[in-house]
Amino acid sequence: MDHTNQVKPQRFRKQLLLPAEHGSWAWLLVPYGVGTAVAGAFNAGVLLVLSGGLALFLLRQPATVWLRIHRGRGRQSDKRMVMRLAAAVGGCALLSLWGLLALGLTSIFWLALPVAALLVVYMAAAVGRQSSTRTLAMEVAGAAGLALTAPAAMIAASGRITPDAWWLWGLMALQNVLGVLYVRLRLADMHGRPADRRLMLGGHTMGALVVMTTAVAGYLPPFTVLPFLGFAIRALWAYPQPRPIANVKKFGFAEVGVEIMSGLLIILAY
């Protein structure tokens, strides 16, 4: 029997589901952990925030791959698999949102709107011929958007939106954005590309000053400034000359560790 024309069975590949930016997991989960710890409660709503946030986070990749295939820029053999993956994680996101609404946590809906809008923009950039998801603006927007898990966890725990939830989002969004600036600079150094070192240093300096000023004004606990002073010192080290990365994998794990340590310091500050 001639098997040359038989279609090979579809196989799951992690690239169809998991995002290429591995560090973005920390930008999602660390704010969630901080928000949950600061709220001091873990209930069904907080768990639904985690499942819904992860589902929306994972939805981007299969949805983007499907759009690329639909436009003739991807492998047709992956179409059925990515449709199943998108349906599964999309269904999980909808069920999580329904559960939150059923618990009376309607305020969460207002946080879901910017996340959904960001997802659409990301997919449009991924399939567009003149745009890219790797631009600074897209990465900054994505990092700030992922930090919404912090206020979402606090709202789910308390059942209401409080000023502290928004201040915590600003804090975690700033941490994520500074991470973007630093990582982009180090990656540029590794590849020998030009990098805007003044933007990186200025962003870190301004970030530390903003947190310090906000803490002095009484909107944030005083010791929340500590990790941002650490970020600023690290930026001063990286600013004067190129600092190539010796091992990308080790660098990635180190950055995740920095994010976690900063999150723990913020939790202790609260």
Q: What is the mean pLDDT of residues 162-190?
A: 94
Concatenated DSSP letters of 196-242: -HHHHHHHHHHHHHHHHHHHHTTSS-GGGHHHHHHHHHHHHHHSSS-
Q: How many CB atoms lie within 10 A of CB 208?
A: 22
Mark out the alpha helices in the chain (DSSP H runs): 24-39, 44-70, 79-102, 108-127, 136-146, 149-158, 163-191, 197-216, 225-238, 248-269
Q: Which of 21-30, 68-77, 159-168 has the highest mean pLDDT?
A: 159-168
For the residues 150-154, what does the mean pLDDT come to? 94
Please work out, in degrees rounded to the nearest 5, the angle formed at the alpha carbon of residue 45 by the alpha carbons of 258 and 24.
Answer: 30
At residue 159, the pLDDT reads 85
Q: Measure the N-to-C terminal CA separation of the chain; round to a whole number of Å.
A: 70
Identify the residue with better confidence: 238 or 195: 238
Residues above pLDDT 70, as percent of the chain: 83
**What pLDDT was estimated at residue 1?**
44
> Is-contact 233 207, C-beta < 8 A?
no
Average pLDDT over residues 222-251: 95
**Res. 6: pLDDT tops 70:** no
Distance of alpha carbon 4 from alpha carbon 22, whole angstroms: 38
User: What is the CATH code of the structural domain delimited by 14-269?
Assistant: 1.10.600
The length of the chain in residues reads: 270
Helix pair 44-70, 108-127: axis angle to 10 deg:
20
In this prediction, residues 92-111 reach a mean pLDDT of 88
State residue 162's pLDDT score: 87
Q: With CA atoms as reference, report the closest residue to 49 among 146, 164, 118.
A: 146
Contact 140, 151 (CB under 8 A): no
The pLDDT, as a whole number, for residue 72 is 64
